Structure 1
Amino acid sequence: MVRVSTGGRVERKRRSCVQWRMIRFEDLLRPTPAGLYCPPGDFYVDPVAPVDRAVITHGHADHARSGHGAVLATRQTLAIMAERYGEDFTKARQGVAYGETATINGVEISLAPAGHVLGSAQAVVRWKGLTMVVSGDYKRRRDPTCAPFEPVPCDVFISEATFGLPVFVHPSDGDEIARLLRSLRQFPERAHLVGAYALGKAQRVIRLLREGGWDRTIYVHGALERLNRLYEREGIDLGPLAPATGLKAGALGGEVVIAPPSATRDRWARRFADPVVAFASGWMGVRARARQRGCELPLVLSDHADWPELIATFTELKPQEVWITHGREEGLLRWCELNDQPARALRLVGYDEDDDEVVAEDAA
């Protein structure tokens, strides 16, 4: 029998005799300047600097960096890292399927779907009866381009807090795509230029458009082409695509163009017919951000859990402790306090709240 106290210790009772083995949560995972470190396993989860051994939750650049000695991740995440950084992004790699268990120095590691982007995973770390789950980035709503989030019972749940304020309640994806399709009908003479992050968001927007009935060719910026092909190799049908290059001025009226966010403000965008500039992001629910980007059609499409999804996850899991990181920690800490959920803020640095924007800007 395993019982974990809110003070962060595991108490074990075996057979008829009582053996007390005091294990602190920090004995298994602890925050360090390089990221979350597992002392008994001697590995890091999503380290922000090159380390000897890393477990990577997903392929966004603020979580998946090159230069590690060895990397354990899903096969899809390893493929994404190789596509972005080259085949020599690490000295050794190990692909682990969802639900499969690997052991590193006596510590068990398994990966569960996170619902964030293709190949994204929660890192489930088990040692001496203690289970800690590092969510990475996650969302709870359906995404046609990746496996859905799976809750994993645990003693400690380490959660992101990107949208960790009650004001963040994202509308349905279908409603947002319907707004885009309605604009295409209203302005058939204008190109619709949608800014979307290169990994995950762009492919999701394309698939949602297909589900919404848009079967025409979608034009894409060159920075998206390699990742689009990777998604298609993984069985994600994106439909007819064409490069948005070599076009005359005033081109693609009535068509959809997908590009990294920075490209929508670049000279590259001037070739299109009076473009309606859209941007797909959870942050588009904040009017000031939409105005700052000069966005005519803000689309609230997030790859992160909103406030109700975060709270529903905590309520469903009921862990002994919640550790909150990279985002709006204060709101979630207050909710936990009011609902008798022990929690703490990790305040890890090096993670970007704006999804993959840094990579998208660089790629463009």
Structure 2
Amino acid sequence: MILDDFVLIDDKGLYCKYGDFYLDPKLPAKNAVITHAHADHAISGNTDVYCTRATATVMQLRYERTAAKVFHIVPFNQPFTIGRVQITFIPAGHMLGSAQILMEYEGTRYLYTGDYKLQPDATCEPIEWVKTDVLITESTFADPAVIHPDPVEEIKKIVDIKINILLGAYGLGKSQRLINLITEHAPRKKILVHHKIMPINAIYENMGYRPGKYQVYGRKLMKVQDEFVYIVPPFTFDSYIRATGVKRLFASGWKNLQVNSQDTLFISDHVDWKDILETIARTQPKQVWTLHGDGRHLKNYFKDEIFVKILN
């Protein structure tokens, strides 16, 4: 039997009272089950954190002593229990270590996706599929009008840009994926990486996911026009708004983050409308609960075929 109150939203975030834990809490919690290490999902100050090794390693890099009082590091596909709920981490394909959270209680399965991605990505574990009774999916781009382009075709756009490129990207997950895409599909480009991104690259490499060919940025290098691509985090990108002699691009799935009307780089690490429909087809839920976006399009699309509940 599906419990309508299996997870509820309170001031700390998404709470499961049957196991007494939060999923990606927004405020410090006693028991926190973390899907991945992006800061909007993995905050500091939790007491007991349950996550994958990659997620814990990035959290420790970012937060040091305040990352958690205790980390419970669990491999993918190895069940464990909190309270009365059995939990299993399933690869989500969003970034290194990202996990879907499969929760089983009294014979019913609830799958919380967290952020996830279906597109191929050599810098993280590919998404895996499990059947579920309830799919709790992020719906950031759950709109029939949003279809993400092929990331390979997007990255090939930079091949014909002959001046140096200042490429803005989030330092964790997106930057490593961009390094890999440029190395593979724009091999003439020489990749420079901001020093803030280097420790994250080191984590990826230590876990067997070398992004590609790159070197740390040096000020003298960008003064030469040699088809450099300098990958920088958002705060640095914004500070270089008056940079001359470079093409400014920001790699994102969001239209408002594209900085040139003539040159866009739409590379998203989230699912689009077609991806969500494929996820529902593969997981075969009886109900779909939506988070982090607008679930109305899904509700209208499935009508009486699948019950859709909007949690946020």
Q: Indicate the TM-score class for this superposition, using the shorter chain for normalisation.
A: over 0.9
SS of match in other structure, 1:25: coil
**Aligned-residue CA RMSD (Å):** 2.0
Q: Does 1:204 align with 2:177?
A: yes
Q: Which moved more, 1:214-223 or 1:41-50?
A: 214-223
Q: CA deviation at 1:332?
A: 2.1
Instruction: Specify the alignment match of 2:282 in structure 1.
Output: 316
Gaps of 5+ in 1: 1-9, 11-22, 348-364
Q: Does 1:342 align with 2:307?
A: yes
Q: Following the alignment from structure 1 to structure 2, what is the Cα–Cα distance between the partners of residues 152 and 87?
A: 35
Q: Is the 8 A contact 1:36 1:46 kept in 2?
A: yes
Q: Among 246, 255, 258, which residue is 1:275 paired with?
A: 246
Tell me: CA distance 1:248–1:109, structure 2 relative to 1, closer, same or farther (3 Å): closer
Instruction: Specify the alignment match of 1:168 in structure 2.
Output: 146
Instruction: Specify the alignment match of 1:20 in structure 2.
Output: none
Q: Among 278, 298, 302, which residue is 2:268 paired with?
A: 302
Tell me: CA distance 1:198–1:78, structure 2 relative to 1, closer, same or farther (3 Å): same
Instruction: Specify the alignment match of 1:233 in structure 2.
Output: 206
Q: Following the alignment from structure 1 to structure 2, what is the Cα–Cα distance between the partners of residues 343 and 167?
A: 19
Q: Is the 8 A contact 2:179 2:213 kept in 1?
A: no
Q: Following the alignment from structure 1 to structure 2, what is the Cα–Cα distance between the partners of residues 295 and 90?
A: 43
Instruction: Specify the alignment match of 1:131 in structure 2.
Output: 109
Instruction: Write the letter of the residue equivalent to 1:275.
Output: V
Q: Following the alignment from structure 2 to structure 1, what is the Cα–Cα distance between the partners of residues 89 and 110?
A: 12
Q: Deviations over 1:55-89 (max 9, x none)?
A: 00000111100100000001111111111111441
User: Matched residue pairs, number?
Assistant: 312
Instruction: Write the letter of the residue equivalent to 1:345.
Output: I
Gaps of 5+ in 2: none
SS of match in other structure, 1:168: coil
Q: Following the alignment from structure 2 to structure 1, what is the Cα–Cα distance between the partners of residues 222 and 178?
A: 25
Instruction: Specify the alignment match of 1:33 in structure 2.
Output: 11
- Between Structure 1 and Structure 2, whose CA radius of gyration is higher? 1
What is the TM-score of this pair, normalised by structure 1?
Answer: 0.81
Instruction: Specify the alignment match of 2:235 in structure 1.
Output: 262
Q: Does 1:177 align with 2:155?
A: yes
Q: CA deviation at 1:310?
A: 0.8
Instruction: Write the letter of the residue equivalent to 1:62.
Output: D
SS of match in other structure, 1:305: coil
Q: Is the 8 A contact 1:279 1:295 kept in 2?
A: no
Instruction: Write the letter of the residue equivalent to 1:334.
Output: N
Q: CA deviation at 1:248?
A: 7.2
Q: Is the 8 A contact 1:125 1:132 kept in 2?
A: yes
Instruction: Specify the alignment match of 1:326 in structure 2.
Output: 292
SS of match in other structure, 2:148: coil
Q: CA deviation at 1:268?
A: 8.3
Q: CA deviation at 1:144?
A: 0.8
Q: CA deviation at 1:205?
A: 0.5
Q: CA deviation at 1:41?
A: 1.2
Q: Following the alignment from structure 1 to structure 2, what is the Cα–Cα distance between the partners of residues 335 and 199?
A: 34
Q: CA deviation at 1:236?
A: 1.6
Q: Is the 8 A contact 1:114 1:147 kept in 2?
A: yes
Identity of aligned residues (%): 36
SS of match in other structure, 2:144: coil
Q: Following the alignment from structure 1 to structure 2, what is the Cα–Cα distance between the partners of residues 221 and 296?
A: 25
Map 1:1-364 to 2 at 5 A. 10=1, 24-26=3-5, 28-183=6-161, 187=162, 190-214=163-187, 217-247=190-220, 250-267=223-240, 270=243, 274-283=245-254, 286=255, 289-290=257-258, 293-294=259-260, 297-337=263-303, 340-347=305-312
Q: Following the alignment from structure 1 to structure 2, what is the Cα–Cα distance between the partners of residues 176 and 248?
A: 25
Q: Is the 8 A contact 2:148 2:253 kept in 1?
A: yes
Q: Is the 8 A contact 1:191 1:253 kept in 2?
A: yes
Q: Deviations over 1:280-330 (max 9, x none)?
A: 1112xx3x652xx34653111100001110111112222111000111322
Tell me: CA distance 1:233–1:268, structure 2 relative to 1, closer, same or farther (3 Å): farther
Q: Following the alignment from structure 1 to structure 2, what is the Cα–Cα distance between the partners of residues 263 and 222?
A: 11
Q: Following the alignment from structure 2 to structure 1, what is the Cα–Cα distance between the partners of residues 138 and 168?
A: 24
Q: Following the alignment from structure 2 to structure 1, what is the Cα–Cα distance between the partners of residues 50 and 132?
A: 21
